[in-house]
C-alpha cells in the first residue's frame, strides 16, 4: 500500500483562509510522509490552481478548500470542476485504487457521486456541512509549527476554515491511520464544532 495526496485551494471571491487551509493540510501530510516514507509519498500543493495529472497510488487523497457551485462542483480560477473530473484522471491510470476526498466548501454534499469507475474500488468523502449548507472561516492564533514546511508570513493571527482546522486537529492526534479515518466522524470534537459554529462533518463511502 502507498499513499499520494493532492492539496488544492482557491482563495477567490471574498475568501481569506482557503490557501491557509491548504497549507495546513499539506504540512500535516508532509509530516506523515517524513514519519513513514515507505507508505506516504510527498504531497503536492496547488494554491489557486488545479491538478491536471494524478499519479497512481493504492490510496489517493484529494483535499480542496474554496467555493463551489450549488451542484457541488468546486471552483478554481473561475472554472468549475466536478468530481468526475478527478475520478476520470485517476481512472486513466488503469490500476485499482481507493480514493479519499476531503472537501471544505459550501454545498459539499452535492460533490458526491454514486457513479462507478472501473479502476476505483472505494471512494470516501469527508465533507464540511452546516444547516445552511455554508462553510465558514474564523480568525485564530497563528502557530508556526503547523506551517513548518510552507512559507507562511510571520503573523500573530490567521484565518482558517472551521471544518479544516478541526479536521486537522483530529487527524493530527495520532489516533488514526489511513485505513480507519472513517472513525474520525465519531470524534467528540464534532459535537463541540456543531454547537459553537453550526459546522459538522459529513462522511460517506461508496464501495464498488
Residue whose C-alpha cell reads 491511520 in the numeric block = 177
- Going residue by residue through the chain, which has 208 residues, state the pLDDT in tens, using 9 for 90 and above: 899 999 999 998 788 899 999 999 999 999 999 999 999 999 999 999 999 999 999 999 999 999 999 999 999 999 999 999 999 999 999 999 999 999 999 888 899 998 999 999 999 999 998 767 677 899 999 999 999 999 777 679 999 999 999 999 999 987 888 999 999 999 999 999 999 999 999 999 987 5
Contact indicator for 58, 3 with CB cutoff of 8 Å: yes
- Domain 3-207 indexed as CATH 3.40.50: yes
Q: Look up the pTM and report it.
A: 0.95
Q: Is 29 helix (H, G, I), strand (E, B) or coil?
A: helix
**Alpha-carbon Rg for the chain in angstroms:** 16
φ/ψ (deg, to 5) at 128:
-70, 130
d(CA 110, CA 70): 7
Amino acid at each position: 500500500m502507498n499513499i499520494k495526496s493532492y492539496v488544492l485551494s482557491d482563495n477567490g471571491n471574498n475568501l481569506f483562509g482557503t490557501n491557509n487551509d491548504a497549507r495546513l493540510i499539506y504540512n500535516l501530510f508532509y509530516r506523515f510522509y517524513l514519519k513513514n516514507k515507505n507508505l506516504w509519498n510527498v504531497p503536492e500543493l496547488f494554491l489557486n490552481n488545479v491538478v491536471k495529472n494524478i499519479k497512481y497510488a493504492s490510496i489517493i487523497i484529494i483535499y480542496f478548500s474554496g467555493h463551489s457551485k450549488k451542484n457541488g462542483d468546486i471552483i478554481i480560477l473561475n472554472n468549475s470542476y466536478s468530481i468526475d473530473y478527478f475520478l476520470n484522471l485517476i481512472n486513466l491510470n488503469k490500476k485499482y485504487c481507493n480514493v479519499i476526498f476531503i472537501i471544505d466548501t459550501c454545498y459539499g454534499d452535492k460533490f458526491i457521486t454514486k457513479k462507478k469507475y472501473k479502476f476505483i474500488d472505494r471512494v470516501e468523502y469527508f465533507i464540511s456541512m452546516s444547516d445552511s449548507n455554508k462553510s465558514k472561516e474564523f480568525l485564530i492564533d497563528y502557530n508556526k509549527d503547523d506551517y513548518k514546511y510552507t512559507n507562511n508570513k510571520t503573523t500573530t493571527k490567521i484565518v482558517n476554515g472551521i471544518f479544516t482546522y478541526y479536521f486537522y486537529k483530529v487527524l493530527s492526534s495520532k489516533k488514526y491511520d489511513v485505513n480507519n479515518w472513517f472513525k474520525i466522524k465519531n470524534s467528540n470534537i464534532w459535537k463541540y464544532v456543531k454547537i459553537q459554529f453550526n459546522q459538522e462533518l459529513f462522511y460517506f463511502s461508496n464501495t464498488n
